[in-house]
Amino acid sequence: MDFALSPELLALQESVRRLAQDKIKPRAREIDASGVYPQDIFDEFKKADLLGLCIPEEYGGSGAGMLGLTIAIEEVTKYSNVLGLMLLLTRLPTGPIMIAGTEKQKQRYLPGIAKGTTRAAFCLSEPGAGSDVAGMQSRAIPDPDVPGGFLLTGTKCWISGGMQADWFTVFAKTGEPSSRLHTDICGFIVEADSPGLTRPRVDKKMGVKGIDTTEIVFDHVAVGPDQVIGGGFMLAMQSLNAMRPIVAARGIGLAEGALMYATEYVKNRAAFGKTIAEFQGIQWEIAKCATEIEAARLLTYRAACLADEGKFSKQYVPMLSMCKYYASEVAVKTSGLALQLLGAAGYMEDHPTEQYYRDARQLTIVEGTSQVQLGLIGRGVLGHDMWWD
């Protein structure tokens, strides 16, 4: 069992770390304050060939896999969760295509993401169906004019990157909206300029500002037979299962960034005749968070390796869910400690601790809440998917 990264992954880690320190760190607070999409950083990712990390080489990517993308996101998110999300969006909408798409679909849609000439978003959640995927109401009915085609109608909400997307991966029901049959759900690829597709609203968010979260409305949008992925409910779940380490990486990076910032602050802040860092109680709290960050990293790197091996079906769900649950909760805990260590200063916009604190809360909600992850882990233990005997 070798815990060391390969020379290639170490080189990737170092290059992304330099990029994050040189380009992202100086821009992070400005991006949060303005909420404007950071096109300049997207261009830096493009120049550094970071947009195709998880995409196979035959489709224009670098083939670094989920572990490579996890490492890159961890480095980036030390300074900006927004930029971690930007990299995440190279995998979330492309995942269903890589898992179940046709060769023609892969050739058509994956190279543009890897090269940075197109962007995409993942449409699953609805106003009345977030965690309850089977409760979605969006519906795709057969197109009477196009054999094998569909007409898609429905509303998707909280779609990250929705305003910037050139195309969407969309899940909808091919049966009655009231049906909860898993086989009645289907995946589709929808071009953003399709007639009947509108983006009427951009949400106002607590944090992770800079990449829009959008409502997408489909009104009898025509989807051709070559844009049908299929896959059913299982494809949606496998796509999300494989993403757990990617979301977890955002949590790890955020926790690292927050703790490093707060640690440097307490080493230089005088109180009661010495620095805050000299108090044993402060040292213990820093030690506890540092330990939890490392535990989260081990869970996450293992999960990324599992995903790279194609192990994201039911029996692997507990291990995948553990990393997402634990890393996102560690991010919340650590950002809270960082803010507390700075005291009143940490609550002010003069320091990034308040931004870390706001951004961390998103991670326990997106792509399966902490409670959903606990349910998946619990059922895995009860069903002996996770067992020690």
Q: What is the pLDDT of residues 287-308, one digit of tens each?
A: 999 999 999 999 999 999 999 9
103 and 178 share a domain? Answer: no
| For residues 367-379, average pLDDT | 95
248 and 269 share a domain? Answer: yes
What confidence category does residue 128 fall into, taking pLDDT thresholds of 50, 70 and 90? confident
388 assigned to some structural domain: no
33 and 15 share a domain? Answer: yes
What is the overall mean pLDDT for the chain? 95
105 and 131 share a domain? Answer: no
18 and 102 share a domain? Answer: yes
Predicted pLDDT of residue 181: 82
- Whose tokens are 């802040």? That residue is 269
- % residues pLDDT > 90 (the chain): 90
241 and 216 share a domain? Answer: no
Predicted pLDDT of residue 382: 96
- Residue 130 reports pLDDT greater than 90: no
Identify the CA nearest to 216 among candidates 119, 122, 316, 299.
122
Predicted pLDDT of residue 195: 97
CA 27 to CA 110: how far, in whole Å? 29
DSSP annotation of 126 reads B
Predicted pLDDT of residue 3: 87
177 assigned to some structural domain: yes
75, 126, 354, 367: which is the annotated catalytic residue? 367
209 and 310 share a domain? Answer: no
CA 253 to CA 70: how far, in whole Å? 10
| pTM of the entire predicted model | 0.94
Domain boundary among 74, 98, 115: 115
284 and 378 share a domain? Answer: yes
- Phi then psi dihedrals of residue 46, to 5 deg: -65, -45
92 and 134 share a domain? Answer: no
> β-strands 120-123, 139-142: how paired?
unpaired
What confidence category does residue 242 fall into, taking pLDDT thresholds of 50, 70 and 90? very high
Predicted pLDDT of residue 177: 81
CATH code for position 140 = 2.40.110.10
| For residues 30-42, average pLDDT | 97
CA 287 to CA 202: how far, in whole Å? 40
Predicted pLDDT of residue 184: 87
Domain boundary among 213, 230, 247: 230
What is the amino acid identity at position 94?
A: T
Structure-block tokens of residue 271:
């109180």
CA 239 to CA 123: how far, in whole Å? 12
Residue 14: domain span: 7-115
202 near 126, Cβ under 8 Å?
A: no
CATH code for position 329 = 1.20.140.10
What is the amino acid identity at position 136?
A: M
Predicted pLDDT of residue 343: 95
Domain boundary among 178, 203, 230: 230
324 and 342 share a domain? Answer: yes
2 assigned to some structural domain: no
What confidence category does residue 109 fall into, taking pLDDT thresholds of 50, 70 and 90? very high
214 and 168 share a domain? Answer: yes
| For residues 51-69, average pLDDT | 96
CATH code for position 41 = 1.10.540.10
> β-strands 120-123, 167-173: how paired?
parallel
- Residue 1 reports pLDDT greater than 80: no
Show Cβ contacts of residue 203 under 8 Å, excluding neighbours closer than 6 positions.
158, 212, 213, 214, 215
Cα first-last separation, the chain = 21
| For residues 19-40, average pLDDT | 97
Instruction: Dump the DSSP string for 42-95.
Output: HHHHHHTT-TTTTS-GGGTS---HHHHHHHHHHHHTTT-HHHHHHHHTTTTTTH
Predicted pLDDT of residue 353: 97
- 75 catalytic? Reply is no
Identify the CA nearest to 227 among candidates 124, 151, 145.
151
E strand segments, 224-281: 228-230, 270-271, 274-275
CA dihedral 49, 300, 123, 16 (to 10 degrees): -20
CB atoms closer than 10 angstroms to residue 156? 25
257 and 374 share a domain? Answer: yes
387 assigned to some structural domain: no
Lowest average pLDDT, out of 4-13, 128-137, 189-198, goes to 128-137
How many distinct structural domains can be found in the chain? Answer: 3
More reliable by pLDDT, 284 or 180? 284
CA 174 to CA 140: how far, in whole Å? 5
